[in-house]
A and B are shown apart, each in its own frame.
Chain A
Amino acid sequence: MIELEGLTRKFGELIAVDNLTFAVGEGEVFGLLGPNGAGKTTTVRMLCCLIRPTSGKAFVGGFEVGKDSLKIREIVGLLPENPGLYDELSAYRNLDFFAKLYDVPEKKRKENIEYFLRMLDLWNRKDELVGTFSKGMKQKIAIARALVHEPKVLFLDEPTAGLDPEAAMVVREFILELKKERRTIFICTHNLDEAEKLCDRIAILNHRVVAMGSPAELERGLWEKTTVVHLRSVNENILKAIEGIEGVRKVEAIENKLLINVDEPEMRNPLIVRAIVNAGGEIEFVTELKRGLEEVYMRLIGGKNA
């Protein structure tokens, strides 16, 4: 649905987006993760045909960015970083105006506006001025605006930025609902938790793509698999027994916990468990060490060795 081939954007000497090449499939929720000024918004603006690439190509829904701008804008919905609603118009009028610009037929327009406002629990307030709404409500209206013409691709730039936890949760749940509808969703965020919950795949961007994959793939690409064994107590015999197993690279004891770097854990974990039991260890439970996207991100972007 979205293809980027060496997409680059410069502002004078500054390279805001450098040689991006990747594709996003239909129905996929794709996250672009990166610090402020990493080029996320610039990438979205290029894909929505708001600004032109300096070099490279991009296709959205089969249409080329820069050549088929109007057609691309017809099939995409954009939620910019700032909702940018018209405070002096009602919620309904805001949506109606944008639906008209997208050429949504009158009957469909009314149906869609009602559908999205009901879905976002704002139908009862449809005639109230948007200026009287809370930040969360405005964000919901802005999402409805991005969807009112039923776009094939939805671009969400920081969809929960500045929202309180409850409003952010409502927005995230709504995005998950959209995911069920198999819409292609492209999310820019620096909220790692959000990206992990919502996205099928993530690209970590710092002007160029630093890493890309599912959250699990990103983690696997950076660290060896680590098995965590919780014991009643740890002793030297247990450590020696584990170190003797082929494929075990490193064993570290932290209080009553063993962190074991091991090749092919699915095959070797049973051997490890047996060795511990044979050495007199009492196992409470065995898990895989999950580092999470935050550690991945900090390692790639933050320059810290997580």
Chain B
Amino acid sequence: MLRWRKTWEIAKKDMASIRRHRYVIYSLLAMPIIFAIVVPFTSIYPMLSVGEVPSTELPPFAPANVPAKQAMILSMVNMALLMFMFIPAAIPSTIATYTFVGEKVNKQLEPLLATPTTDSELLIGKSIGAFLPGIAATFASFIAFVCLVDALTFSTFNLLILPNPLSLVIIFIFSPLIGIMSVEWCVFVSSKVSDVRAAMQLGIVSIAPVLALYFLFLGGILTLSLPALAIFGAILILATIGLFFLSKATFERENILTKWK
């Protein structure tokens, strides 16, 4: 039986702790700012001022049934949306590295393990502490991105192009799944390394599915159709479940004190 009050206390403590880590704060601020502000201004804004776009120059993933220029802008927006999945992959992974490996290296886990909390309460509490800031940063960044893109493109489309169904799927389904997966992966990594930098390097593996989707889409191998997104979603769900069991088996008092490196 999970006691949410204790779980939440652990999450709150971890979130309070990471506020003091400059590297984490920079990641929390830098990535969302890049995706919300820099990307629209560097990839979408220049498209607005070009004249006509020859249809031969359209990328393979450009939507059909719209004028070439609009198709190009929509393609850029979709590409930018896919990039949003990097935020929940990278930020929770960075935080989890500090709260799991960092605490292990600083020998802060033993007093915590001695408290009357269950392994699940500790694991879930610490996972929430790493997950929430990442997902909050993703949402905040997404809202800023939507506002900026709509403001920039309204005169071209005469309608608000965001949020569209793809953006909602990415933000509300894929991003949380990727965030959870990245924390679970970091828990596993924590048991294998005893160095924060090494953990960060291994933790970055959690962006692999996002990269795969991005390049498959970019190369035109994958279209952003409903079946393709459903398959990707199903893969994410299966991976999340698999990693949950792996992290649960890893994060066990006895293992942490006797087997973790």
Chain A residues with a Cβ under 8 A of chain B: 11, 45, 48-52, 70-71, 73-74, 76, 78, 80, 82-89, 93, 97-98, 100-103, 129, 142, 145-146
B21 within 8 A of partner (CB): yes
Q: How far is the CB of A305 from chain B (nearest CB, A)?
A: 37
The distance in angstroms between the C-alpha atoms of A102 and B9, with both chains bound, is 11
- Complex interface: chain A residues within 8 A of B10 (CB): 101
Q: How far is the CB of B258 from chain A (nearest CB, A)?
A: 6
- 8 A-B contact pairs sorted by A residue (CB < 8 Å): A50-B257, A78-B114, A93-B16, A97-B9, A101-B6, A101-B10, A101-B117, A102-B115
The distance in angstroms between the C-alpha atoms of A11 and B257, with both chains bound, is 12
8 closest residue pairs by CB, A with B: A88-B20, A82-B107, A78-B114, A73-B116, A101-B115, A84-B108, A74-B116, A80-B110
Chain B residues with a Cβ under 8 A of chain A: 5-6, 9-10, 13, 16-17, 19-21, 106-118, 253-254, 257-258
Write the chain A residue with the least CB distance to B3.
Answer: A103
- Are B113 and A97 interface neighbours, CB within 8 A? no
Write the chain A residue with the least CB distance to B111.
Answer: A84
- Are A142 and B111 interface neighbours, CB within 8 A? yes
- Are A97 and B118 interface neighbours, CB within 8 A? no
- Complex interface: chain B residues within 8 A of A100 (CB): 5-6, 9
Main secondary structure of the interface of B (DSSP, over half): helix
- Complex interface: chain A residues within 8 A of B9 (CB): 97, 100-101
Write the chain A residue with the least CB distance to B13.
Answer: A97
Write the chain A residue with the least CB distance to B258.
Answer: A51
- Complex interface: chain A residues within 8 A of B108 (CB): 84-86
Assuming the A-B contacts A88-B20, A100-B9, A101-B9, are A145 and B116 also in contact, with contact meaning beta carbons closer than 8 angstroms in the complex?
A: no
- Are A84 and B110 interface neighbours, CB within 8 A? yes
Write the chain B residue with the least CB distance to A79.
Answer: B111
Assuming the A-B contacts A80-B111, A84-B110, A88-B21, are A70 and B118 also in contact, with contact meaning beta carbons closer than 8 angstroms in the complex?
A: yes
Write the chain A residue with the least CB distance to B113.
Answer: A50
The distance in angstroms between the C-alpha atoms of A84 and B115, with both chains bound, is 13
Q: How far is the CB of A193 from chain B (nearest CB, A)?
A: 26
The distance in angstroms between the C-alpha atoms of A142 and B106, with both chains bound, is 14
Most chain B beta-carbon contacts within 10 A, residue among A83, A85, A101, A129: A101
